[in-house]
Amino acid sequence: MEKEYVTAAEYDDLLFDPTGFMLRQFLPRVYGALEPLQQLPSLPSMYYTRFVTRTAAFASPEVAGALDALVKAGTEARRMLERAKAFVDEMTALGFPSQIGGVAYAPFDYIGDLLRGTRGVMLDMYRIPDKLLEAMEKLIPFILQGAIPAAKMTGIPFIFMPLHKGLDGFMSSDQFKTFFWPPLKRVILSLIQEGLIPMVLWEGDCTSRLETIKDIPRGKAIYWFERTDIFKAKEVLGDTVCIRGNVPGTLLCVGSPGDVEAYCKRLIDVGGKGGGFILDGAIGIPDEAKLENVKAMADTTREYGVYR
């Protein structure tokens, strides 16, 4: 249900003032209750006596209503976070610690998912490539600000990074090497410099990208593969990253426990050779998965996935 909330002509607005752009242009378009925020003045322009006069915008009934909507949303968000923390604490006490300390995104996905939409960002690669590259570079610090403090606060070093638009079938190899991988690599390297562990979920198939995405420091990240040839991934990346995956969701939903056991054993034999492998569902475990199949995956790993 994505839309093109930001036009190609507005890249300059985003580059000039990302915070003001999000507050006064993006949010009013996406959330109906926040539409009045477009009336707000540019905050850096409120200097000297202008600060006094331009606060008048906050007294507008429409703006006051938008701010009240934010307060109500924030109140609900606080309740949600408090309950989530209670659940995490309960699960940790039972021996199941949280896997994720923070979340980060590929800059290309940030623009394509959130601002321009898939069609828009794909056209931008052809029509205004330099502007797209500049915008992605500008957004990297904000992506890091959204991930690093959360991980530092929780003490959980794993940064979950789901990827969407850079895989096989979305763009060519040359486009991947130009638009998707370089800014993503900068995010990954920045997280590693902070002592964190990027856990990159390569959704879909990225078998043709394996040699390219190998270019990161050894032993510092987890690559989680959904439909990529995980055996090829082990061959190419096994000495660089920890590999995670990739029991298919279809197998867990409609296969038999015997099918699951056989697949898991093959994963362990190949992926687990020499270490550096986490057996898991291709993209987690679907809600529709058969309980006996999930149990077969766990039991096989526990019994067969040991070093002898």
Residue by residue, what is the 3-state secondary structure of 124-142? HHHHCHHHHHHHHHHHHHH
pLDDT at 308: 62
Contact residues for 68 (Cβ-Cβ < 8 A; gap 6+): none
pLDDT at 2: 82
With residue 279 as reference, give the H or E element that holds it: strand 277-281
Q: Which two tokens stand for residue 188?
A: 């990954």
Query: Could you list the mean pLDDT of each consecutive 10-residue stretch along the chain, which spans 308 residues?
Result: 91 97 96 96 90 92 97 98 95 94 97 96 98 98 97 95 93 97 98 98 95 98 96 96 95 97 95 92 94 97 84
How many residues does the structure list for the chain?
308
Spatial contact of 140 and 186, defined as CB atoms under 8 Å apart = yes
For the CA atoms of 283, 229, 192, 216, what is the dihedral angle to 10 degrees? -160
C-alpha torsion sign, points 251, 253, 255, 259 = positive
| Cα–Cα separations (whole angstroms), residue 232 to 27, 208, 270 | 43, 10, 10
Q: Tell me if residue 248 falls in helix, strand or coil.
A: coil
How would DSSP label each residue in 71-130? HHHHHHHHHHHHHHHHHHHHHHHTT---S-SEE---HHHIIIIIIIHHHHHHHHHHH-HH
HEC string for 191-219? HHHCCCEEEEEECCCCHHHHHHHCCCCCC
Residue 157 per-residue DSSP state: -
Q: Which two tokens stand for residue 47?
A: 């200097």
Q: Which two tokens stand for residue 164?
A: 């969407």
Give the integer Cα–Cα distance in Å for 58 and 129.
38
Q: Phi then psi for 205, rounded to 5 degrees?
A: -120, 125
Give the integer Cα–Cα distance in Å for 150 and 236.
32
pLDDT at 1: 74
